[in-house]
Amino acid sequence: DTEVTQTPKHLVMGMTNKKSLKCEQHMGHRAMYWYKQKAKKPPELMFVYSYEKLSINESVPSRFSPECPNSSLLNLHLHALQPEDSALYLCASSQDRGWGTDTQYFGPGTRLTVL
Amino acid sequence: GNSVTQMEGPVTLSEEAFLTINCTYTATGYPSLFWYVQYPGEGLQLLLKATKADDKGSNKGFEATYRKETTSFHLEKGSVQVSDSAVYFCALVNTGTASKLTFGTGTRLQVTL
């Protein structure tokens, strides 16, 4: 089973709202990722968690706040977003064997629209 | 640094035609190479992978061979179907980069009847 699930599938929010995206995997993976994908572009890495600790933040604005409550769950908290933050947000997971070439498995994504 | 170059799309083929999507990479050391596919409105699915030189990844009729001498990982399929219409991303992950994927720009494939 190589399934990563994400909820919600679609989200519309205003610029003053607070919302959260959720991601879950049950593959025993210890690394989890958030990506942002704009139309007709490849995904861009936002955050990496390794063993439930934030290991990479790709200079993402603070209006995006990641959280990893346990090894199976990853959240992305959203606050005061801008219309240009509208995109497909993808979660991924991988084993974390330490040498950096593990396969990442992606979820179906959350389509976010900021009004 | 690491980089991946894919052929520009869109690629338009008739059903049952032969497909090649070119992918070349730049990386030091021994990266792992991947092809991901993204169907309209969906996330990325791993299509195939290769972890060392001369490995051939294959899945659903698609194949790609890790060629270190030409730094290439071209995707091929002998007979495409309408259902193969999607965007295909070539990607690599390298040692010492904390599993950061480097993607190509993506190639859109449109298969018609």
Per residue in B14-71, pLDDT (tens digit) is 999 999 999 999 998 889 999 999 999 899 999 999 999 999 999 999 999 999 999 9
> Model confidence over A54-64: pLDDT tens digits?
999 999 999 99
User: How many Cβ atoms from other residues are within 10 Å of residue B100's Cβ?
Assistant: 17
Contact: A106, B43; criterion CB under 8 Å: yes
Among residues A27, A74, A71, which one has the least CA distance to residue A51?
A71
Beta-bridge partner residues of A57: A47
Number of helices and strands in chain B (H, E): 0, 12
> Picking from A61-65, B45-49, B71-75, B98-102, which range would have the lowest pLDDT averaged per residue?
B98-102
Q: Cβ of B56: how many Cβ atoms within 10 Å?
A: 10
Q: Do B98 and A101 touch (CB under 8 A)?
A: no
Supply the mean pLDDT for chain A: 93
Residues 41-100 of B with CB under 8 A from A: 41-46, 49, 51, 89, 91, 93-100
User: What H or E segment, with its residue span, contains residue B64?
Assistant: strand B62-65
For residue A99, pLDDT over 70 is answered with: no
Chain B residue closest in CA terms to A111: B41
* CA distance linking residue A82 with residue A15, whole number of Å: 6
CB-based contact B94 A100, cutoff 8 Å: yes
* A67 touches B: beta carbon within 8 Å: no
Residue A49: pLDDT band with limits 50, 70, 90: very high
B3 reaches A (C-beta below 8 A): no
Interface test with A, best of B44, B89, B92 (most A CBs within 10 A): B44
Q: What is the DSSP letter of A83?
A: G
B49 and A103 within 8 Å at the Cβ level: the answer is yes
Would you call B82 helix, strand, or coil by DSSP? helix
User: CA B84, B86, B92 angle in degrees (round to 5)?
Assistant: 105
Q: Mean pLDDT, to the nearest integer, of A33-57?
A: 94
The 10s digit of each residue's pLDDT in A27-38 is 999 999 999 999
